[in-house]
Amino acid sequence: MIVRYIKEFYRFIKHVAQSRDLLLTLVKNEFRKQYLGSYLGLIWAFVQPFVFMLVIWFVFTYGFRATPLADDTPFFLWLICGMIPWFFLSNALLSGTDAVVNNAFLVKKVAFRVSILPLVQIGSALIIHMGLVLFLMVACMLYGLMPTIFWIQLPYYIFCSIFLVLGISWITSSLKVFVKDIGNIMTVVIQVGFWATPIFWNIDMVPQQHHWMVQLNPAYYIVEGFRNIFIKEVWFWQFPGATPYFLLMSSLFFIVGAIVFKRLRPHFGDVL
C-alpha cells in the first residue's frame, strides 16, 4: 500500500512538472483576479497583514507594556517571524478550500486535472508570502541581524508549509462541494489555530509538562522554524522529535487528502 501511495505521489509531481506552464498561467490569473482589479491593486494584499502586525505590536508594546520575551530579542521581529508564516498558512487554507467550487467551469472539463486547483490557490498566496518574507529579511537586517547560513533553510520551511496545506486543501475543497458549511468550519478552525499557536505569545508561558499539547499543532513547527532561521539560528534537524512528527502528520494529511479527493472527484460535475 505504501508503494502505491509513493507511485501516486510521483505521478502527481510528474503531472505538475508537465503542466507547469498551465499551472503558472492559472496562478497568475488567480492573483490578478484577487488583487489587480481594484484601485490600489496589489497594495491591498499587504495592507491587512501589516496593519494586523502593527496593532499586535502596539498593544503589547504600549498597551500592556509587556512582551512574552525574556531575552533581548526585539519583540516586533519575533512577532513578524511568527505572523508571516501564519498569514500564508491561513490564506492558503481558506482559498484552497474554495478551489473547486470557485472553478466549476474547469471541473467540468474532461481533460483538466482538478487536483491541481488547490495548488493554484496556494501558488497565488505564495506570491504574497514571498513579498512578506522579503520584508522580514529587510527587517532583520535593520535590527542588525545580518544574513547567515541558517537562512538557507527557508526553502525547506516554505516547502513544508505548501506540503501541509495541499493535503488539507484536498480534503476541505472536495468536501465543500457537497457540504457548504466546510468553509465556515475552516474559518473557525483558523481562528482557533491562531490563538493556539505561539505567534504573539511564548510557549514558555505554558507549563513544561504541557508543551507537547502546543507542539501537536503542525503550524507550531513552521512558526518556530522561521524563528529558528532568523533569530535563534538553529537547524531543523536539531529537533529529532519535532521534524519527524511534522513530516508524518503532513504525509498523513497528504495521503488522506489524495484519497478523499480521488473518491469524490467523479461526483463534482453532478453537484456543481
pLDDT confidence tier of residue 25, bands split at 50, 70 and 90: confident
Q: What is the pLDDT of residues 26-74, one digit of tens each?
A: 888 887 777 766 656 667 777 778 788 788 777 766 766 666 665 678 8
Three-state DSSP string of the chain: CHHHHHHHHHHHHHHHHHCHHHHHHHHHHHHHHHHCCCCCCCHHHHHHHHHHHHHHHHHHHHHCCCCCCCCCCCHHHHHHHHHHHHHHHHHHHHHHHCCCHHHHHHHCCCCCCHHHHHHHHHHHHHHHHHHHHHHHHHHHHHCCCCCCHHHHHHHHHHHHHHHHHHHHHHHHHHHHCCCCCHHHHHHHHHHHHHHHCCCCCCHHHCCHHHHHHHHCCHHHHHHHHHHHHHHHCCCHHHCCCHHHHHHHHHHHHHHHHHHHHHHHHHHHHHHC
Q: What is the pLDDT of residues 73-108, one digit of tens each?
A: 888 888 899 999 999 999 999 999 998 888 877 777
| pTM for the structure as a whole | 0.88
Model confidence pLDDT, tens digit, residues 189-205:
999 999 899 988 888 88
